[in-house]
Amino acid sequence: MNVILLGGTRGIGRAVGRRLALRGDRLFLLGRGGLERADALPRSAHDLEAQSPGGQTVGVAHCDLADRSSFAPALEAAWGSLGQVDAVVVTAGLYEAQDRMESDPERFAAIADVNFTGTIVFCEAVRSRLLAEGGGRLCVIGSVAGDRARKPVSLYGATKAGLAHYLEGLDLRYAQQGLRVITVKPGFVRTGMTAGLPEPPFAAEVDDAARAVVRAIDRGSRVAYAPPVWRWIMAVIRWLPRFVLRRTSF
């Protein structure tokens, strides 16, 4: 496949990129720059080129979900490099602990803007391009936190719940025109973003989550959980009465 990957410099996105590169897919990376991470994109591209069996060139372009003006140039560069695009994978996003977001409204506003508004606007730009070519696959990383409001992640979960609502609507509206929308909902994954946080049961390694993402893309799954056990855990949590959730800490 020809794949555009937004957020492939670290965490789940980096692991997804490696899995796709190892099997010979052509990749184009989108991500943020910045003074402290100016070389993150080219270094990730070189790593993926080394993983590719054919040593295929991996192009890069700056794209920041907090900066809507970066979307069009980034997608233009990616489409120009790959020619035809089969899938776009969005793994970028922000996370912060509930207590810190409650005490810092500006930080929460920035996270909500990236995880919800920025991601949706980016997906809309991708949607129009894929539909113009007859369709394709759009895979977006959500979170189990968006399935049901819970005490430790009520603010972060709200951003992911809104995103999941949008992605479901996108699937309903455009599936018959060839757009395959895939939402992957990881549970707790051991990444730099979650380092130092208390680990719940069923915490997963990055590569386990990446395996689930690639499997969902290949199968065209509408919704997938990573690891899969979270599908059944969240099915139970969604049915718990609110008074039970008030008394729990999860």
Residues 211-247, buried b or exposed e (16+ Cβ, 10 A)? bbbbebbeeebebbbbbeebbebbeebeeeeeeeeee
- If pLDDT is split at 50, 70 and 90, which confidence band does 206 have? confident
Instruction: Indicate if the pLDDT at residue 201 is higher than 70.
Output: no
Main-chain dihedrals φ then ψ at residue 89, nearest 5 degrees:
-115, 125
Per the CB < 8 A criterion, the answer to whether 217 and 89 are in contact is: yes
Per the CB < 8 A criterion, the answer to whether 49 and 56 are in contact is: yes
| CA atoms of 140 and 213, how far apart (whole Å) | 9
How much is the pTM? 0.92
- If pLDDT is split at 50, 70 and 90, which confidence band does 36 have? very low
Instruction: Indicate if the pLDDT at residue 179 is higher than 90.
Output: yes
- If pLDDT is split at 50, 70 and 90, which confidence band does 229 have? confident
Instruction: Indicate if the pLDDT at residue 78 is higher than 60.
Output: yes
Exposed / middle / buried, residue 113 (Cβ in 10 Å: 0-12, 13-18, 19+): middle
Domain ranges of the chain: 2-247
In Å, how far from its chain's centre is CA 235?
22
Instruction: Note the pLDDT of residue 29.
Output: 96
Parallel, antiparallel or unpaired: strands 204-205 and 223-226: unpaired
Per the CB < 8 A criterion, the answer to whether 21 and 2 are in contact is: no
Instruction: Indicate if the pLDDT at residue 16 is higher than 90.
Output: yes
Instruction: Using only the alpha carbons of the chain, give its radius of gyration.
Output: 18
- If pLDDT is split at 50, 70 and 90, which confidence band does 91 have? very high
Summarize the confidence of residues 17-26 as an average pLDDT: 94
2-247 CATH choice from 3.40.50.720, 3.40.309.10, 3.30.70.2740, 1.20.90.10: 3.40.50.720
Summarize the confidence of residues 78-93 as an average pLDDT: 96
Supply the mean pLDDT for the chain.
91
